[in-house]
Amino acid sequence: MSRVISLAVIPGDGIGPEVVTEGLKVLDTVTDGGDVAFEKTTFSLGATRYLETGDTLTDDDLAAVSRHDAILLGAVGGTPGDPRLAGANIERGLLLKLRFSLDHYVNLRPSVLHPGVSSPLADPGSIDFVVVREGTEGPYVGNGGSIRQGTQHEVANEVSVNTAYGVERVVRHAFGVASARPRKHLTLVHKTNVLVFAGGIWKRVVDEVAAEFPEVTVDYLHVDAATIFLVTNPARFDVIVTDNLFGDILTDLAAAISGGIGLAASGNINPDGRFPSMFEPVHGSAPDIAGKGIADPTAAILSVALLLDHLGLTDAAARVQAAVAADIAERGEATRSTSEIGTAISDRIRAH
């Protein structure tokens, strides 16, 4: 064995553990007999753990997770509105704390309409784009507050933070992604007509960095118009760069048009390599279907492919992607369980 990779596994809540099981099944298959071994440590973190212990992500948890080469996460969070979780804020206290502490400033979310997948769009054309979502700033940083809370005179704010440092590094990364793709096109999505300060910095930085990438063509869309074109002409997109909030929303829409949220994978990347990057499906813990064995594990499996690619294991990543594409192509209308899908994809990898 020439290389050992330490992997922190955070199955999380709801369907998280169900889809992570299938992701690991595929990871074990694709690395079986090779010269790379994954040494996995499972971390019990999430709403379930919070309800049992009152802990969300302690300093010790964070330090322990950080010591790994990479992280695979299922999903965290309980049923929206569950009063027992009202004070916990699992999403901010766990998921965002991980992304911020590990400096995951690139949130990479590819969307591809695979052959055989039915899109809700009448005429989707070709869908093959990647959203580069900023991962450590924007309105998600917790820069807000409320006065007179709970009264009729309450005033609440949630301020979007956009630093020149933070915007520039993610924009430069997005140009690099665009430059490496055949179409070499980048679309900035924001709302510069109204959010003049936040939008202004994004527009200025994109214009400046564009000069370093003359091979990349650039355009701009307001986020509301971007939602129109994602539905009417998704083929126009190659790389989208946008802030944390717009990227969150647009990537659920991107998933929906390209076959569903069960297929959408993502990577929270620390490009500098100072911290482990974290790979996870775009979807959440889906409490409405948890425990039924019907969640689609494909997004988690494709997240494993992104993880392998990030670690430089490009052959293994390509084998997982090919097996997923083949499985999707032959899916048809048949209903299979979460485990059956994971096993079918593993079997395809083994057979090739």
Ligand X SMILES: NC(=O)C1=CN([C@@H]2O[C@H](COP(=O)(O)OP(=O)(O)OC[C@H]3O[C@@H](n4cnc5c(N)ncnc54)[C@H](O)[C@@H]3O)[C@@H](O)[C@H]2O)C=CC1
Instruction: Enumerate the known binding-site residues.
Output: 99, 109, 133, 224, 248, 252, 284-296
- Name the token pair of 5: 């990779």
Contact between 248 and Mg ion by CB under 5 A: the answer reads: yes
Q: Which one of ligand X, Mg ion, ligand COI, none is in contact with 280 (Cβ closer than 5 to 8 A by kind)?
A: ligand X
Stretch that binds Mg ion, among 68-76, 141-149, 176-184, 240-248 (CB under 5 A): 240-248
**Is the CB of residue 61 less than 8 Å from the CB of residue 45?**
yes
Q: Which one of ligand COI, ligand X, Mg ion, none is in contact with 283 (Cβ closer than 5 to 8 A by kind)?
A: ligand X
Contact between 138 and ligand X by CB under 6 A: the answer reads: no
Contact between 289 and ligand X by CB under 6 A: the answer reads: yes
Return the number of the residue (135 or 166) whose C-beta is nearest ligand X: 135
SS (H, E, C) the chain: CCEEEEEEEEEECCCHHHHHHHHHHHHHHHHCCCCEEEEEEECCCCHHHHHHHCCCCCHHHHHHHHCCCEEEEEECCCCCCCHHHCCCCHHHHHHHHHHHHCCCCEEEEEEECCCCCCCCCCCCCCCEEEEEEECCCEHHHCCEEEECCCCCCCEEEECCECCHHHHHHHHHHHHHHHHCCCCCEEEEEECCCCCHHHHHHHHHHHHHHHCCCCCCEEEEEEHHHHHHHHHHCHHHCCEEEECHHHHHHHHHHHHHHCCCHHHCEEEEECCCCCCCEEEEECCCCCCCCCCCCCCCCHHHHHHHHHHHHHCCCHHHHHHHHHHHHHHHHCCCCCCCCHHHHHHHHHHHHHHC
Of positions 130, 177, 189, 299, contacts ligand X by CB under 6 A: 299
Return the number of the residue (99 or 310) whose C-beta is nearest ligand X: 99
Distance of alpha carbon 107 from alpha carbon 151, whole angstroms = 37
| Closest-CA residue to 114 (of 273, 298, 251) | 298
- Run of H or E residues at 268: strand 265-269
- Does 220 participate in catalysis according to the annotation? no
- Run of H or E residues at 292: none
User: What's the closest the beta carbon of residue 264 comes to ligand X, in angstroms?
Assistant: 9
User: What's the closest the beta carbon of residue 107 comes to ligand X, in angstroms?
Assistant: 10
- Does 140 participate in catalysis according to the annotation? yes
Active-site hit among 140, 238, 243, 309? 140
Partnered with residue 162 across adjacent β-strands are none
Return the number of the residue (95 or 141) whose C-beta is nearest ligand COI: 95
Q: Which one of Mg ion, ligand COI, ligand X, none is in contact with 37 (Cβ closer than 5 to 8 A by kind)?
A: none
User: What's the closest the beta carbon of residue 283 comes to Mg ion, in angstroms?
Assistant: 8
Residues marked as binding for NAD(+)?
A: 284-296
Of positions 286, 306, 311, 341, contacts ligand X by CB under 6 A: 286
User: What's the closest the beta carbon of residue 286 comes to ligand X, in angstroms?
Assistant: 4
- Does 35 participate in catalysis according to the annotation? no
- Run of H or E residues at 119: none
Site for ligand X in 12-31 (CB under 6 A): 15, 19
Distance of alpha carbon 207 from alpha carbon 202, whole angstroms = 9
User: What's the closest the beta carbon of residue 281 comes to ligand COI, in angstroms?
Assistant: 9
Q: Which residues bind ligand COI (CB under 6 A)?
A: 91, 95, 248, 282
User: What's the closest the beta carbon of residue 33 comes to Mg ion, in angstroms?
Assistant: 37
Stretch that binds ligand X, among 131-139, 202-210, 292-300, 315-323 (CB under 6 A): 292-300
Q: How many residues bind ligand X (CB under 6 A)?
A: 22
Stretch that binds ligand X, among 3-11, 173-181, 276-284, 327-335 (CB under 6 A): 276-284
Site for ligand X in 245-274 (CB under 6 A): 261-262
Query: What does the binding site for ligand X look like in residue numbers (CB under 6 A)?
Result: 15, 19, 75-78, 80, 91, 95, 261-262, 280, 283-289, 295-296, 299
| Residues tagged active-site | 140, 191, 224, 248, 252
